[in-house]
A and B are shown apart, each in its own frame.
Chain A
Amino acid sequence: MKTESGQWPLWEVFVRSKQGLTHQHIGSLYAADAAMALGNARDLYTRRQEGVSIWVVPSGEITASSPQDQGPFFEPANDKVYRHPTFYPVPDGVENL
């Protein structure tokens, strides 16, 4: 499978570094199909014991916010510091908050 430019399609790669953590976006690569994308991701991104699980997603399937959305999407949060949990006293001995 090739795209119109003659290049293989682009895939986004997500790797989970160890059990219990979430998959993190780690990079992208070209591959003809999903099986090849997984193989390439294994060779490109997990050579140094970085992962225990890989997801690959066609880049075209990702819906992204655009730079023009910056204002309506993100700016309203700027003056709402009360949304951060910084106004609560943290009881002694709480390790994970």
Chain B
Amino acid sequence: MSKNLKVDQARFQLLLRLGDNALILGHRLSEWSADAPALEEDIALTNVALDLIGHARLWLAAAGQAEGQGRSEDDLAYLRDVRDWRNLHLVELPNGDFARTMVRQFFFDSYHLLLLEGLACGRDTEIAGIAGKVVKEVRYHLRHSSNWVIRLGDGTEESHARMQQALDDCAPCVPELFEADQIYLDLESLSIVPEIHLLKSEWEHQVSGVLAEATLQMPEILSAHTGGRQGLHSEYLGYILAEMQFLQRAYPGASW
């Protein structure tokens, strides 16, 4: 395989990973629409969901171009089966209660922001361009989720207990964030993606700071869910895709 072809394929995989994380988490957050604890928060969560779905469109459109097979962002979003999705386990976790949703969001936002900041100063101009465009929104996402983590962690007895439970629920999905497969390492050696060990240490530093302020304990991680980037997912993703892709599957090519 020529070097360029290998880089093209690695870029395609990276773009899919970025797009799939944004789309699946955006879909999850959209499930709160009309169901959040307060009207104001309902709109805040829907804003974040819409931001992420907007990011997914940019990444998946770029992925389609990188692949060079003529697939559009819609083809990639609506016509791929579960084994072809490249998102993390964290983003497919069910919403649970509001505490779970916020811990999931806080873990992801912290990772997402560091990753995008790294991509924005990376060597690939197209990827750096998209990352630079979306990073401002993600800075607000992190602010929103960190505020809730602190507020609820350092809140009432019940909110604290629910947050601690939510940390236990989400922690097994954390190691996957910082797994680097050969694709990632190839892109790292080209300075397209940030160095994984820096990403990890910075994430741990920032997250532990917020959790300390929230009077919460990061649980010990005894088992890890992994393999999302290789297409190995939890049962939850199938249900998400069934709902998200139903219309295009039932009425192929439908548009409005």
The answer to whether A29 and B40 have CB atoms under 8 Å apart is yes
B230 contacts A by Cβ under 8 Å: no
Q: A residues 41-61 with Cβ under 8 Å of B?
A: 42-44, 47
Binds B, one of A14-22, A31-39, A70-78, A84-92: A31-39
Contacts between the two chains (Cβ within 8 Å), count: 26
Cα A44 to Cα B151 with chains together (Å): 20
The answer to whether A8 and B47 have CB atoms under 8 Å apart is no
Q: Collect the chain A residues with CB atoms within 8 Å of residue B41's CB.
A: 40
Q: B residues 107-143 with Cβ under 8 Å of A?
A: 140, 143
The answer to whether A43 and B147 have CB atoms under 8 Å apart is no
With contact pairs A32-B151, A44-B43 given, residues A39 and B144 touching in the complex (Cβ less than 8 Å): yes
B44 contacts A by Cβ under 8 Å: yes
Q: Collect the chain B residues with CB atoms within 8 Å of residue A43's CB.
A: 40, 43-44, 47
Q: Collect the chain A residues with CB atoms within 8 Å of residue B1's CB.
A: none
Q: Collect the chain A residues with CB atoms within 8 Å of residue B44's CB.
A: 39-40, 43
The answer to whether B47 and A40 have CB atoms under 8 Å apart is no
Cα A42 to Cα B147 with chains together (Å): 15
Q: Which of A32, A42, A43 has the most CB of B within 10 A?
A: A43
Q: B residues 1-60 with Cβ under 8 Å of A?
A: 38-41, 43-44, 47
Cα A34 to Cα B47 with chains together (Å): 20
The answer to whether B43 and A8 have CB atoms under 8 Å apart is no
Q: Collect the chain A residues with CB atoms within 8 Å of residue B40's CB.
A: 29-31, 40, 43-44
Number of interface residues of A (CB under 8 A): 13
The answer to whether A39 and B147 have CB atoms under 8 Å apart is yes
With contact pairs A36-B147, A39-B144 given, residues A30 and B43 touching in the complex (Cβ less than 8 Å): no
Q: Collect the chain A residues with CB atoms within 8 Å of residue B140's CB.
A: 42
Q: Collect the chain B residues with CB atoms within 8 Å of residue A47's CB.
A: 47
**Which A residue sits closest to B46, measured CB to CB?**
A43
Q: Collect the chain A residues with CB atoms within 8 Å of residue B43's CB.
A: 40, 43-44
Could you say which of A30, A35, A42 contacts B38, with CB atoms under 8 Å apart? Answer: A30
What are 10 A-B contacts defined by CB distance under 8 Å?
A29-B40, A30-B38, A30-B40, A36-B147, A36-B151, A39-B143, A40-B40, A40-B44, A43-B43, A43-B44
Chain A positions near chain B (C-beta within 8 angstroms): 8, 29-32, 35-36, 39-40, 42-44, 47
Closest 3 CB pairs of A and B: A40-B40, A43-B44, A43-B43
Chain B positions near chain A (C-beta within 8 angstroms): 38-41, 43-44, 47, 140, 143-144, 147, 151
